[in-house]
Structure 1
Amino acid sequence: MEAQMRLIFFFIVMISAATEEIKNLKGIEGGNITLPDPVLELGFISLERKNVAMLDNGNFRMLNKNYTNKLHWDKNTGLFTITRLQRSDSGIYTIDSKEGNIFTTSYKLTVYDPVQTPAVNTVSVSTDSCILLCSVDKAETTLLWYKDEEILNQSSSALSLPLTVHKQDFNSSYRCEASNPAENKTLHVNITTSCRNNADAGGHSPDTQRYYILTGVIMAIVFVVVLAFLVHTVKKKFHKKSETITSQAQGRIRISEPRHTIY
């Protein structure tokens, strides 16, 4: 009978272990994470079923040297904190309390890269619209454009995300958000600075500006060529007129010369 009870207890433990909920935790590389279940008397913390540290009558003992000065225990709260997180710290951590409040809890920790604050640049401005581009350097980020509290556009794992703002919406509030599952960074956009002033000042897109510059250069070249042609023509006419006047003067001189009589 005792053997049967042990077998039943063993199966109950196995079933409870199989159905144990693993809670998710998210951390940022370089940051800290505190596991929310305290151990005050006797217990262990393990990573992937390998003990990292233990607690015995309030005495904290490190078992894995890789976590020296990295894993800390607060004697007042009984909480474990992992500091200076790295991507390699991701994994399943288990807290096992053996005395007092007895429990076993597992956490799946995922460490992410820090989120970069997005940058917003003006791509082009016309009289009735403005195109803005929100961008980051790392692709493991979700970009979102907000108008007031409404999501207008979003893209996962993208380096940039454009948005067209129409003139009738220039008075609305816009912001671009870069996020991952662990954190987010937001940049608010001043539409007056980015769009309206440029539009009122007759701002143009880079392609339009290049067109105007090229047109100006061509017109300058044409003007110089025409001016050179006119100068050359005037000089030629002046030179021809001078030659005509000289020839006429020489002819009058020959006519006015006295004839010599031979005796």
Structure 2
Amino acid sequence: MESTVRIIFLLVVMRLSATEEVKKKLPGSVGGNITLPDPVLEFGFLFYGGRNIAMVNEGKLKILEEIYTNRLHWDRNTGLFTLADLQRNDSGIYTIDSKTGKSLSTSYKLTVYDSVAPPTVKNLSSEICSLLCSVDKETTLLWFKDEEILNQSSSALSLPLTVQQQDFSSSYRCVAANPAETKTVTVNVKAICGGNDTNSSDYPAQRNYIILFAVFSIVSALVVIVVALIIKQKYLTENKRTNGQAQGPVGTEEEVEYSDIRVCGNRQEEDLPDSSTTIGHSGLTTVYDKLEVHRMISESVENT
């Protein structure tokens, strides 16, 4: 009896040792699915880390651990197990024992990685085309020109690339990858670096011409504004001077010219010309008054 137990024990140890030698690596991403490629058609078991988590008997699946309920599926037609909604703690060794007469079971080493986010690309310089590909978490980054790898890093948050003007027409893409998945962004270098209508020979000259034209436009506008202000100021000064001459000095009395009085007989009652008429001198006004004898005598007495 003891010899029989020893033989069985040795067979189990040999079986487990052989299983360790045939492990296959399977990568998966958080939130994704993984299908184990070895089938169980009618009867067999699925182990995780040495624990029996599911079995197939008479074409029906029975899940033995609750955490795999609604996550572990078995396809009756293909006989394959699929584990859905992967989490980081699902990483480990899965063993399939199909009970098909094989002396060895098949084991798989599953590694679950964080999902890869799509990379972003921006231009770092206005002088040259200096592209930077970035991701949120460290991962493998690669720059491709057509099908050629130009630059790569196995663990990085960003990866730079400088593109020459003559290469703008080539196809560029940045790839973020881990063993489970890849995300790619295709880069339109002409759009990102502003080289749509220029070529490598005349781009600097055209750029300088644009700068000179902008400076010339600004200076011309300033000159026009200054000239307009000078003309306006001169016009206001001339207008003010003209108005001042037309109105005459403020607060001065008009010049009055007096004439000698000559009395000829008794002609005071004669009609006198209108006082508004002007005699002799342009710009002078002649004022007439009636001379009365009693007024003249009174004024003479007062003066004496």
TM-score by length of 2: 0.62
User: Which letter maps to 1:182?
Assistant: A
Q: Residues 24-103 of structure 1 correspond to what in structure 2 (within 5 A)?
A: 24-101=25-102, 103=104
- The answer as to whether partners of 1:125 and 1:199 remain within 8 angstroms in 2 is no
Q: 1:170 aligns with which of 168, 171, 183?
A: 168
Deviation at 1:17, TM superposition (A): 3.4
Unaligned runs of 5+ in 2: 205-214, 239-248, 250-304
Asked whether the equivalents of residues 46 and 95 of structure 2 are also in contact (C-alpha less than 8 Å), the reply is yes
Shift of 1:100: 4.6
The corresponding residue for 1:10 is: 10
Question: Gapped runs of 5+ residues in structure 1?
Answer: 204-214, 239-249, 251-263
Rg larger in 1 or in 2? Answer: 2
Identity %: 57
When normalised by structure 1's length, the TM-score is 0.70
1:157 matched to which residue of 2? 155
Q: How does 1:1-263 map to 2 (within 5 A)?
A: 3=3, 7=7, 10=10, 13=14, 16-17=17-18, 20-101=21-102, 103-126=104-127, 129-136=128-135, 138-195=136-193, 196-197=195-196
Amino acid at match of 1:75: R
What is the CA–CA distance in structure 2 between the aligned matches of 1:8 and 1:71, rounded to whole Å? 32
Residues 35 and 156 from structure 1, CA distance in 2 versus in 1: closer, same or farther, beyond 3 angstroms? Answer: same
Are the counterparts in 2 of residues 125 and 198 from structure 1 also a CA contact under 8 Å?
A: no
Q: Output the CA distance in 2 between the equivalents of 1:151 and 1:16.
A: 41
Alignment partners' CA distance in 2, 1:193 and 1:169: 13
Matched letter for residue 131 of structure 1: S
Which segment is superposed worse, 193-202 or 75-84? 193-202
Shift in Å, 1:68: 0.6
RMSD of aligned C-alpha atoms? 4.5
Q: Give the distance between the partners of 2:168 and 2:160, measured in 1 at CA.
A: 16
Structure 2 Cα separation of the partners of residues 18 and 103 of structure 1: 6
Report the residue type matching 1:135 in the other structure.
S
Q: 1:189 to 1:152 in 2, by over 3 A?
A: same
Deviation of 1:98 (Å): 2.6
Q: Within 2, Cα distance between the matches of 1:75 and 1:69?
A: 16
Corresponding residue SS for 1:141:
strand
| CA deviation vs aligned residue, 1:155-194 (integer Å, no higher than 9, x gap) | 2332222211111222322111111111111122122222
Q: Which has the higher strand share?
A: 1
Native 8 Å contact 1:134 1:176 kept in 2: yes
In structure 2, the CA distance between the partners of 1:161 and 1:87, relative to structure 1 (3 Å rule), is same
Conserved 8 A contact 1:38-1:79: yes
Cα deviations by residue, 1:207-232 (Å, 9 ceiling, x for unpaired)? xxxxxxxx9xxx9xx99xx99xx99x
Q: Any conservation in 1 of the 2:44–2:96 contact (CA below 8 Å)?
A: yes
Q: For residue 114 of structure 1, report the CA deviation from its aligned partner.
A: 1.8
Contact 2:19 2:104 in 1 (8 A): no
Alpha-carbon distance between aligned partners in 2 of 1:107 and 1:152, rounded to the nearest angstrom: 34
**Inter-CA distance 180–19: structure 2 relative to 1 (3 Å threshold):** closer
Q: Which aligned runs of 4 or more in structure 1 are off by greater than 3 angstroms? A: 2-9, 14-19, 99-103, 198-203
Give the C-alpha shift of residue 57 in structure 1. Answer: 2.3
Larger relative CO (CA 8 A, sep 6+): 1 or 2?
1
